[in-house]
Amino acid sequence: MEGEFHSHLEEKVRPYIDLIDSLRLIGIEEDMSLPRIAVIGDQSSGKSSVLEALSGVALPRGSGIVTRCPLELKLRKIRGGVNWRAVISYKDEFIEFSDPSEVEGYVETAQNELAGEGVGICDDLITLEIMAPDVCDLTLIDLPGIARVPVKGQPEDIGHQIKNLILKYIEKNETINLVVVPCNVDIATTEALKMAQEVDPEGKRTLAILTKPDLVDMGTEKNILEIVRNQVIPLNKGYIIVKCRGQKQIDDGLSLTEATRVERDFFRSHEIFSCLLYEEKATVQCLSSKLTQDLVDHIKSSLPLLSEQIKKQLWDMRKGLSHCEAGPPLDPQKRKTFFIQTLTTFNDKINRLSSGEVVNNENLFVLLRTQFKKWKEHLDGTKESFHQTVQDVVKEYDLKHRGKELPGFSDYKVFEMVVQKCVSQLTAPATDTLRIIREIIENQFADVSKACFTNYPYLQSIAANKIDNIQSKQEAKVEQRIMEQFEMEQLVYTQDGIYFRTVNETQTTGATEDNFIVSQRLADQVPMLIRYFMLKESAQLLCSEMLGLMDGVNVNEALREESEAGRRRADIQNRVERLAVAQEKLNQFGSKDLLQN
Ligand code: GDP
Ligand code: MG
């Protein structure tokens, strides 16, 4: 009969537990809480003993604080004559072992590593997964016992620390709280029960376990009976009374299997408690099936909310993902194509920029025109001072060099000096214009690089280098050309009739000449040189050099993403994948569930 009940229960229970386990396995707990059972109680109330009895696994026990980190105990029933197997994992550790007697040692080592040796506690979770044929499918969390007074070596606020740690687990709506209370204390004043009632006032997810019934003070058995029957401090889920191994039985080497028999015998033969057996309120076995059923009910009632949460988060994440820029594909061939595309997009923008399209926020050509206009204005300004220069030079020549000639007679020597002086006055403004424009263009090129290679710092730095090199080279070239131009002006105008006349006219009449040709020519020539070499040719050089990267550069290196943006996208992508899998699992489960009922 009993076996049948259990296997029937198992059939109904297993899929729910598996569902939650599979969700846990894909890491959905990073996004939301999953149903689970936490064990709380005062120090030495018998928490570990209960867990031991449920799991059939000996856990570290003793007096004082023994459980110093939350310990997640995952019990998995394995069918088909498989041997006992366990895995303990914490931080980066992952240790498999097959000898049950090693559990205590491994848990202790883990605690020492996480919480340090001694009596400190730590929030980090240790997970102990046990696969065996004779356990029930449960996941339980053992928590440090509530301590009232710090012992030597513990901080003053240890009680506070432990309570906070416990609260973190029991306050979640998804957690069933197992409150362990020994029969030989004043149950009404138990701290653990108070805490559980605070976080779950309706007692929907609180189950109390009374331990040590063999230690009940003579004459108080009746009170205990009333409590177990839910007549004193009523809890929605009620009470279960269990008897575990006492210290002496452990010392005597009583096995857990034997303990189950001893427990049954104890209740059967108990004058007052024996009725609880038939009321299904006593023994570890009864606790185990009740817990399992509770957990399943709990899972069932949590599923709609869980499904809702997943749906909502998935929606949010997908929206978030659509705001992230697409990353490079992982497939090598596609990655190469993507790389070429990225370079081509860059080149295309640079070309469009150099032919006057507005690619960045500002219009490059407007910026250039502003500078060229300044240059022209400068030339116009010097035109006025030109007449003054001529007169100065002539006067100076008269004073220093005139021999037999008549005053004011113009010769080539004078012209040459005039032109030299004028031209030298123009050199600095011309190179200034060049320098300013180089800066403007360089900035615009860099903006294109930033826009096209947002997530690729490597490409950005390569582009920045190339831009700088090319612009330096081109600037030197333009400067050279401007100088040549000025030299040509000197040469041409000292032999030029118009110029000759202009100088003479200026000299004799002082009239201004509007069509002063040097000024006109320089006004066109300097901008033309700058625009051609600094923009047009620079753009061409840059494009061809960037395209050259296609062969030389390591694609993986080039497309290594700027960590922040890449990490953010990868994180969202992971979550989306995880949530989608979870949703799929829930959907499948839902339809199976419908078919079954
Ligand atoms: P924890 O600190 O809450 O984990 O408590 P433990 O499980 O370590 O138990 C504290 C002590 O109580 C141990 O010596 C156990 O052997 C003993 N103990 C636990 N349950 C019972 C019980 O039902 N009867 C008796 N006599 N002793 C028990
Ligand atoms: Mg313990």
**Identity at 444, one-letter amino acid code:** Q
**Residue with CA nearest ligand 1 atom 22:** 212
Q: Which atom of ligand 1 is nearest to the CA of 142?
A: 4
Report, in angstroms and rounded to the nearest whole number, the Rg of the chain calculated over CA atoms.
44
CA distances from 279 to 9, 103, 202, 216 (A): 19, 35, 23, 20
Coil, helix or strand at residue 206: strand
Nearest C-alpha neighbor of 111 from the set 59, 169, 51:
59
Strands 138-142 and 85-90, bridge-based pairing: unpaired
DSSP 8-state class, residue 410: -
The DSSP bridge partners found for residue 139 are: 74
* pLDDT reported for residue 54: 81
Structure tokens at 557: 């290196």
Residue of minimum CA distance from atom 1 in ligand 1: 44
Residue 208: strand pairing partners: 179, 239
pLDDT of residue 11: 72
Kindly list the distances between the CA atom of residue 422 and the CA atoms of 387, 393, 427, 522, in Å, as whole numbers in the listed order. 10, 11, 9, 12
384, 389, 391, 392: CA torsion to nearest 10: 140
Neighbour-count burial for 514-544, b at 16+ CB within 10 Å, e otherwise:
eebebbebbbebbbebbbebbbebbbebbbe
Distance in Å, CA 225 to ligand 2 centroid: 26
At 12 the pLDDT is 72
Nearest CA to ligand 1 atom 15: 246
Domains along the sequence of the chain with CATH = 5-319 (3.40.50.300), 332-562 (1.20.120.1240)
Q: Whose CA is closest to 582, among 175, 296, 308? A: 308
For the record, the structure tokens of 163 come out as 């309570």
- For the record, the structure tokens of 172 come out as 């979640």
> What one-character DSSP code corresponds to residue 150?
P
Sheet containing 206-211: which strands, arranged edge to edge? 93-97, 85-90, 126-132, 71-77, 138-142, 36-41, 175-182, 206-211, 239-241
Q: Which ligand is nearest to the Cα of residue 70, counting in written order?
A: 2
Pocket test for ligand 1, best of 48, 55, 224, 244 (most atoms within 8 A of CB): 244
The neighbourhood of ligand 2, an ion, using CB within 5 A, equals 47-48, 66-67
Residue with tokens 């197992």: 178
Ligand 1 atom with the shortest distance to the CA of 242: 23
**Tokens matching residue 395:** 């006067």
Spatial distance between the Cα atoms of 52 and 39, rounded to a whole number of angstroms: 12
CA distance 345 to 362: 19
Burial of 169 (0-12, 13-18, 19+ CB in 10 A): buried
Question: DSSP code of 42?
Answer: B
Report the distance separating Cα 424 and Cα 435, nearest Å. Answer: 18
The rounded distance, in Å, linking the Cα atoms of 91 and 504 is 94
Ligand 1: which atom is nearest the Cα of residue 65?
Answer: 2
Cα separation, 311 vs 455, whole angstroms: 30
pLDDT at residue number 579: 92
| Token code pair at residue 565 | 């943006």
Nearest atom within ligand 1 for CA of residue 211? 23
Residue 235 in contact with residue 259, Cβ under 8 Å?
Answer: no
**What's the gap in Å between 9 CA and the centre of ligand 1?**
29
Ligand 2 centroid to Cα of residue 67, in Å, is: 5
Q: What is each CA distance from 511 to 397, 508, 518, in whole angstroms? A: 21, 8, 17
d(CA 456, CA 305): 41
Q: What is the pLDDT of residues 26-72, one digit of tens each?
A: 888 888 888 888 999 998 899 988 888 887 777 777 666 678 899 99
C-alpha 341/C-alpha 555 separation (Å) is 12
Residue 65: exposure state from Cβ atoms within 10 A (0-12, 13-18, ≥19): buried
Strands 239-241 and 36-41: unpaired
Each of the 597 residues of the chain gets a pLDDT tens digit; together they read: 233 444 555 677 778 878 887 888 788 888 888 888 899 999 889 998 888 888 777 777 766 667 889 999 888 777 777 788 999 999 989 999 999 889 989 999 999 999 988 888 888 999 999 888 877 777 889 998 887 777 777 888 888 889 999 999 999 988 999 999 999 998 888 999 999 999 999 888 999 999 999 999 888 999 999 999 999 988 889 999 999 988 888 888 888 788 889 999 999 999 999 999 999 999 998 998 888 888 888 888 888 888 999 999 999 888 887 777 667 777 788 888 888 999 999 999 999 999 888 887 788 888 899 999 988 888 887 766 767 777 777 777 777 766 655 555 456 666 667 767 777 778 888 889 999 999 999 999 999 999 888 878 888 999 999 999 999 999 999 999 988 887 777 665 555 555 555 556 555 544 344 346 677 788 888 899 999 999 999 999 999 999 988 887 788 778 877 656 677 777 888 888 889 999 999 988 877 664 454
The values of phi and psi at residue 180, to 5°, are: -95, 120
Helix H or strand E segment including 427: helix 412-452
Q: Give the per-residue pLDDT at 239.
A: 95
DSSP E strands in 42-97: the ranges are 71-77, 85-90, 93-97
Residue 580 burial by Cβ neighbours in a 10 Å radius (0-12, 13-18, 19+): middle
**Among candidates 140, 206, 203, which has minimal Cα distance to 178?**
206
Task: Please report the beta strands in 239-390, taking only residues with DSSP state E, as ranges in sequence order.
Answer: 239-241
Strands (E) across 323-418 are located at none
